[in-house]
Amino acid sequence: MNLIPVPLLSEDSRPGRRCFRVKGADRALAVSGLPAEELRVAPPALPETGELDLLRHFTRLSQKNFGISTNFYPLGSCTMKYNPVVHEAIAAQTAWSGLHPWQNEADVQGALRVMHELAHDLGVLTGLPGVTLHPAAGAHGELSALMVLRGWLDARGESHRRTILIPDSAHGTNPASCTLAGFKVVTVHSDERGLCDPEDVKAHLGPDTAGLMITNPNTLGLFEENIAEICRLVHEAGGKVYMDGANFNAIVGVARPADFGVDMMHLNLHKTMSTPHGGGGPGAGPICVTEELAPWLPNPRVVRDEDGIFRLEESAQAFGRLRGFHGNFLVLLRAWCYVRRLGAEGMRRVAENAVLNANYLRVLVRDHWRVPFDRVCMHEFVARPTRSMRDKGAHTMDVAKRLIELGYHPPTVYFPLVVNEAIMAEPTETESKETLDAFAAAMAQIAREAEAGDPCLHEAPRNTPVGRVDEARAVKDPRLCWQCGS
């Protein structure tokens, strides 16, 4: 048998003890300065196995992975979008990945240039020239922008403005970021068309208004048609407008949020600009703000001297640092590649194709499912089971599980909260007509099963190692360690 060399370990004599001590290394441990009671006294019960068996084990595990490289992944809002392999190869080059943030500015001119150019490009795409690349994700960007707003308000002697208006269709991170930044949240209702209602905005504006956070296109995949009017109302009341730009791929290269009247926004580079997204990161959520707000952005900033040298600069008004260094550089590098490869025309086509694909799929899906806001959508749309399906006991979770069984990653489910039993699908700009047709056929099959009360819907998925779990409990009581017994 081809055994992997395993160091000789002494036996564990103490029940329940997870520690081990490598024979012959006692002396090293003794001089390590660790208290004796913290040192391992016995080997862990690691499995001993042959190389080939181990290789097969990990290969089998990797084959159980589901990702954009295996099949369609229409997870609305959080979709795995276009992540070209060439960008991964570039980001993996040690010339980039081997850089250290403490290196001299003179030695990292290339990296500083990438950040400077990316910040410039994002400023052009959004129309908001003050850019920081530091935030690690969308939610982090929201928090940073609210800190900028706080700094700006305080500098004007308007610290009493501490209320932020947020539409009820917003992503949960919006109110969470507000609370974290010390603002009070007031909810604004959507109208029957699924849009933020300017009348309701007007009714909630007042002397304590700091601003409004609005997602556009919103989480229903609808363009906020009254955005210019809403921005005007908020400005008149003395506040600023923050746009959650997580859905920017629907309008990138077509519309600049600054032209609607938006003052600040974040971009989820890990969604819109080519970084694998899922499992919580790594990501990047740069924020773009007007020139007026730019001095309050976090330090440091990358600037370019007249002689073409890039260096770091600090602003006295900055709210401070958001993190140790400059953000997730390799994510920023992928975004830089993305923008520079596609160019203005390519970016525009991203938005056009994202919208076209979503509408194509919406029209196929609505033959069998209820689409509550059934009109031209942006990059995603929301569907739900019909009443008769629900009467037969078929719910959104059953649809999601059956899709897994049929080989698809389910769309986002039970979000946005303004639609009961929501199924939010985002096909993205890069999927083929054949893929969309096949997914629509799977949805049609599930609809027929739901209408017929087929029990397979409640048993799915039957072809995965784990079928249905108590999801609420799994979140609250995760057992993540090896040999926990569950």
Ligand X SMILES: Cc1ncc(COP(=O)(O)O)c(C=O)c1O
CB of 216 to ligand X, least distance (A): 10
Our CB check for ligand X shows the closer of 238 and 278 to be 278
Q: How far apart are alpha carbons 203 and 199 in whole angstroms?
A: 6
CB of 173 to ligand X, least distance (A): 4
Q: How far apart are alpha carbons 220 and 486 in whole angstroms?
A: 38
**Given the rule CB under 6 A, which of 133-141, 385-393, 437-445, 455-463 is the region that contacts ligand X?**
133-141
Strands of the sheet containing 423-425, edge to edge, are: 381-383, 423-425, 412-413
Q: Which of 12, 121, 197, 244 binds ligand X (CB under 6 A)?
A: 244
**Given the rule CB under 6 A, which of 25-33, 102-110, 135-143, 354-362 is the region that contacts ligand X?**
135-143
Assess 77 for contact with ligand X (CB under 6 A).
Answer: yes
Is residue 287 within 8 A of residue 135, CB to CB? The reply is yes
Beta strands in 389-468 (DSSP E): 412-413, 423-425
- Dihedrals φ, ψ of 206, to 5°? -170, -175
Q: Which of 283, 286, 385, 410 binds ligand X (CB under 6 A)?
A: 283
Q: Which of 43, 138, 221, 298 binds ligand X (CB under 6 A)?
A: 138
Q: Which of 79, 216, 226, 268 binds ligand X (CB under 6 A)?
A: 268
Q: Which of 12, 20, 75, 78 binds ligand X (CB under 6 A)?
A: 78
Show contacts with ligand X in window 199-228 (CB under 6 A): 215, 219
Residue type, 240: K
Contacts with ligand X, 378-417, as mask; x by CB under 6 A: ----------------------------------------
Assess 353 for contact with ligand X (CB under 6 A).
Answer: no
Assess 171 for contact with ligand X (CB under 6 A).
Answer: yes
Contacts with ligand X, 311-340, as mask; x by CB under 6 A: ------------------------------
Q: How far apart are alpha carbons 295 and 293 in whole angstroms?
A: 6
CB of 194 to ligand X, least distance (A): 14
Our CB check for ligand X shows the closer of 239 and 283 to be 283
Our CB check for ligand X shows the closer of 214 and 289 to be 214
Whether a cis peptide bond, with omega within 30° of 0, leads into 43 is: no
Q: Residues near 209 by Cβ (< 8 Å), separated by ≥ 6?
A: 161, 163, 164, 165, 234, 237, 238, 239
- Dihedrals φ, ψ of 376, to 5°? -55, 125
Q: How far apart are alpha carbons 352 and 337 in whole angstroms?
A: 20
What residue has token string 């392999």?
Answer: 85
Assess 137 for contact with ligand X (CB under 6 A).
Answer: yes
Q: How far apart are alpha carbons 179 and 160 in whole angstroms?
A: 15
Assess 446 for contact with ligand X (CB under 6 A).
Answer: no
| Number of residues located near ligand X, criterion CB under 6 A | 14
Q: Residue 9 gets which letter from DSSP?
A: B
Q: How many CB atoms lie within 10 A of CB 39?
A: 15
For the CA atoms of 33, 38, 41, 47, what is the dihedral angle to 10 degrees?
-110
**Given the rule CB under 6 A, which of 13-21, 137-145, 363-371, 378-386 is the region that contacts ligand X?**
137-145
Is residue 461 within 8 A of residue 66, CB to CB? The reply is no
Instruction: Kindly state the tokens that stand for 127.
Output: 């129309």
**Given the rule CB under 6 A, which of 59-67, 134-142, 357-365, 366-374 is the region that contacts ligand X?**
134-142
Assess 249 for contact with ligand X (CB under 6 A).
Answer: no
Instruction: Kindly state the tokens that stand for 267.
Output: 């971009």
Our CB check for ligand X shows the closer of 138 and 276 to be 138
Our CB check for ligand X shows the closer of 138 and 211 to be 138
Kindly state the helix (H) or strand (E) to which residue 313 belongs, with its residue range.
strand 310-313
Our CB check for ligand X shows the closer of 252 and 447 to be 252
- 138, 268, 272, 341 from 80: Cα distances, Å: 15, 12, 9, 19
- Using Cβ positions, the residue closest to ligand X within the complex turns out to be 138
Assess 133 for contact with ligand X (CB under 6 A).
Answer: no
Assess 173 for contact with ligand X (CB under 6 A).
Answer: yes
What residue has token string 């308007």?
Answer: 158
Assess 134 for contact with ligand X (CB under 6 A).
Answer: no
Q: How far apart are alpha carbons 270 and 274 in whole angstroms?
A: 6
Our CB check for ligand X shows the closer of 108 and 251 to be 251
Binding site for ligand X (CB under 6 A): 77-78, 137-139, 171, 173, 215, 219, 244, 246, 268, 283, 285
